[in-house]
Amino acid sequence: MQLRIAVVFFLLAVSGSTVSAQNFPPRSTGHPLLPQWNEVFDFQRVSPETIESGAMYSENNVTQLIAAIQTIDDSKRTFANTMRPLDDLLNYLLKAQSVFELLTNTHTDKTIRDKSGEKLEKFNAMLDDINLNEALYNAVKAYASTAEAKSLTGERAFFLKKSLRDFERNGMALKPAERDSLKSLNKKLNELAVQFSKNISTDVTKLKMTEEEMDGLDEDYKLKRRAADGTYLLDLSNPTYGPFMSKGKNNEARKRLYIAKMNIGKGNDKLLVEILKLRTRKAQLLGYKTYSEYAVGDIMAQNTKNVIDFEAKLAADLRPKGQQDINELLKLKQRETGDGTAVVIYPYEAAYYSNMLLEEKYQVDPELVKEYFETQNVIKGIFTIYQQLYNVSFSEDKAPSIWFKGVQAFSVTDNATKQMIGYFYLDLYPRENKYNHAGCFSLTGSKTFEKGKQLRTAALVCNFPAPTAEKPSLLPHGTVATFLHEFGHLMHVMLSNTELASVSGTYVAVDFVEAPSQIMENWAWQKKVLTMFAKHYQTGEVIPGELIDKMIASKNMNSGLNALQQVFYGTLDFSLNNAEPLQSADQVVSKVAEFQNRITFYPYVEGTNFANSFGHLIGYGSRYYGYMWSSVYAQDMFSVFEKSDPLSPETGKRYREMVLGKGGSDDAILLVKNFLGREPDNKSFLKHLGLN
């Protein structure tokens, strides 16, 4: 998951030079949240007071830049005095948002989380104010009419076009009174969005299980969760939930845990109803029938019909494979339960019988497999992949300033120039009140100044199984693929090579943003790659080739069922925003049940409300379909690597320059076409799912 937020405040006026590869970037020498040129945060000095003062300083800088743009005489407007300062102020603002987004989701101190959330709402509102600033809009329009503007090409021309489009889509065509109404709507939506996410990240529900209910779980798993009274306390983090659902033999216990997991985010049902109503009012104020129509109007899909047709055709194409998949699971259920008439696999049974299928048909034991994927070794392996493909080097900072003990930090050096280009953090293990999925927080993006390139920074926030005194952190193979995916987002940030921050890195069309991460999942299935780093955590033995062959043979196990789940998520998200807004939480639950029962083979379970915990309903808002949409392009682009060599530096160089380096500085479809050297198609995507 890509969190489209930037991080690190940046002082434009201070002196400095491009960071040398010989040293790590220094932490901020002044204010911990206000690093000077290519310094990094001093997270260990962050406090509620520094959050307050840092927010005030950044707000003042944004205000001054706006004033400077407005005072230019229209007859004297140039790219240098109008468009570049516009990018500067967006750079400031997005970075201000980002630090609060990161701290709200990761810091252990409640006062810091709360203060960060408060400031996040404030800076979200500031961005809305800028989008509706008539003087700024008029300044950009005035510049657009100049001879210089009409002669622009490449990134600068795209930024000008994008800026005008964004102003107009955000309400500049409205009358003043209507713009005031839109500001109020945006403010309320931002407040509700922050609360929705907070309700998920701060949910600390734990279930008590008896010894009988823990049947099937290994002793290491049980030991970590054993309470003083001999029972077991299970939280809802993925390292707890995943193994229990796949290995736990007690069906009722799995059902109980599933229901709890599907009810994370208490109170979000009411918030979602209000959000849907406000989104509809916003869309209609802007001249659209529905929020979905508004949401997709400026990205790859272009209109609602294309999205609806895409999801419907995909669901139909996947149905036969899904039926094959469910039939295999049903045979196992019928055998184990002795009920030869069983025709349903419930969601809380899916992982259990899938794990059984994996072990019996493909002879792959996930517990054995993960012994070859110790987390720190996986990190080294992933680094090897990216370093070879993209001609960069990673070095660990052994004394970083971090927000939690155990967070690691690394520099990125471009081998061709010998210059440091980026710095990133890995926050890998679960804890209470932490963001509970896997995501890349896009930190500082690419931006060119006279003194050089702004240092790119990013943070991966994940929830991998934590190490214990007895064992290191061991990753299931699927989690290795997830790691590669999220690192793909991070490298999109690191390797962006744009002049302007507003079009750098992951600031691309939302229905394309997942492609540069999805493509990287393919490396988790390359035998040549796995033998480079998959080693047994105790013996150091390289993963046996026979085991890899079995894993690859199992790659498309349940591919139909899993892809249909994604279609369900995308359809739910799109449909909730593409109709008259629902009026009650019960209606949301009914929609969840309707789409789950119609699209997937796993029926809705009474007493659950998946929408409460589905944070993408907020972050993507009608655009979650982009996960599958992006995958079509990701697999097509991977076909180029397949034809040469998945570790080919030459192909990696082309991809780095033609896709990653371009960020969002051109239409996504053109980036894909240029890299492919042809029109895109879905052949590789269908092959990826085992459909042809």
Whole-number pLDDT of residue 72: 97
- How far apart CA 49 and CA 411 sit, in angstroms, is 29
Look at 137-141, 159-163, 609-613 and tell me which has the smallest mean pLDDT: 609-613
Decide if 292 contacts 622 (C-beta within 8 A).
yes
The two tokens of residue 557 are: 């196990």
Closest alpha carbon to 108 in 504, 413, 431: 431
Let me know if 649 is exposed, middle or buried by CB neighbors in 10 A (0-12, 13-18, 19+): middle
Q: Across residues 351-369, what is the average pLDDT?
A: 97
- How far apart CA 225 and CA 277 sit, in angstroms, is 42
Task: Write down the H helix ranges in 361-419.
Answer: 366-370, 375-390
Closest alpha carbon to 492 in 427, 422, 435: 422
Write out the catalytic residue numbers: 486
Whole-number pLDDT of residue 7: 32
Q: Convert the pLDDT of each residue in 385-415 to its tens digit.
A: 999 999 999 999 999 999 999 999 999 999 9
Closest alpha carbon to 100 in 131, 122, 126, 130: 122
Whole-number mean pLDDT of the chain? 93
Q: For a pLDDT cut of 70, what percent of the chain falls above it? A: 97
Q: Name beta bridge partners: 414.
A: 392, 419
Q: Convert the pLDDT of each residue in 503-518 to its tens digit.
A: 999 999 999 999 999 9
Whole-number pLDDT of residue 4: 43
Whole-number pLDDT of residue 5: 36
Q: Name beta bridge partners: 442.
A: 458
Residue where the block lists tokens 């967006």: 90
Closest alpha carbon to 530 in 654, 369, 395, 357: 369
- How far apart CA 515 and CA 629 sit, in angstroms, is 9
Strands 439-442 and 232-234: unpaired
Decide if 512 contacts 633 (C-beta within 8 A).
yes
Altogether, the residues listed in the chain come to a count of 692
* Three-state secondary-structure class, residue 459: strand
- How far apart CA 89 and CA 73 sit, in angstroms, is 19
Closest alpha carbon to 659 in 640, 674, 648: 674
Ordered by start, the domain boundaries in the chain are: 1-174+363-536, 177-200+273-285+287-361+556-692, 207-261
Residue 583 pLDDT > 80: yes
Q: How confident is residue 263, by pLDDT bands cut at 50, 70 and 90?
A: very high
Decide if 296 contacts 622 (C-beta within 8 A).
yes
Q: Convert the pLDDT of each residue in 631-668 to its tens digit.
A: 999 999 999 999 989 999 999 999 999 999 999 999 99
For 1-174+363-536, CATH number?
1.10.1370.40
Whole-number pLDDT of residue 3: 53
- CA distances for 334 relative to 327, 341, 344, 557, 562, angstroms: 10, 7, 10, 19, 21
The two tokens of residue 670 are: 């053109």
**How many Cβ atoms are within 10 Å of 376's Cβ, its own excluded?**
13
Q: How confident is residue 2, by pLDDT bands cut at 50, 70 and 90?
A: low
Amino acid found at 547: L
Residue 230 region, left (φ>0) first, then alpha (ψ -120 to 50), else beta?
Answer: left
Q: Across residues 426-442, what is the average pLDDT?
A: 91
Q: Across residues 442-452, what is the average pLDDT?
A: 90
Whole-number pLDDT of residue 437: 85
Homologous superfamily of 177-200+273-285+287-361+556-692? Neurolysin, domain 3 (1.10.1370.10)
- How far apart CA 617 and CA 395 sit, in angstroms, is 37
CA atoms lying within 13 Å on the CB side of residue 673: 6
Instruction: Give 9 or 310, the one with higher predicted confidence.
Output: 310
Closest alpha carbon to 275 in 174, 360, 193: 193
Decide if 165 contacts 509 (C-beta within 8 A).
no
DSSP H/E element including 234: strand 232-234
- How far apart CA 601 and CA 320 sit, in angstroms, is 11
Q: How confident is residue 1, by pLDDT bands cut at 50, 70 and 90?
A: low
**How many Cβ atoms are within 10 Å of 677's Cβ, its own excluded?**
9
Look at 245-259, 290-304, 411-425, 436-450 and tell me which has the smallest mean pLDDT: 436-450
Residue 574 pLDDT > 60: yes
Same fold, 1-174+363-536 and 177-200+273-285+287-361+556-692: yes
Amino acid found at 261: K
DSSP H/E element including 268: helix 268-285
Q: Name beta bridge partners: 232.
A: 209, 226
Whole-number pLDDT of residue 94: 86
- How far apart CA 660 and CA 663 sit, in angstroms, is 6
Q: Across residues 209-217, what is the average pLDDT?
A: 97
- How far apart CA 372 and CA 534 sit, in angstroms, is 5
Strands 452-453 and 448-449: antiparallel
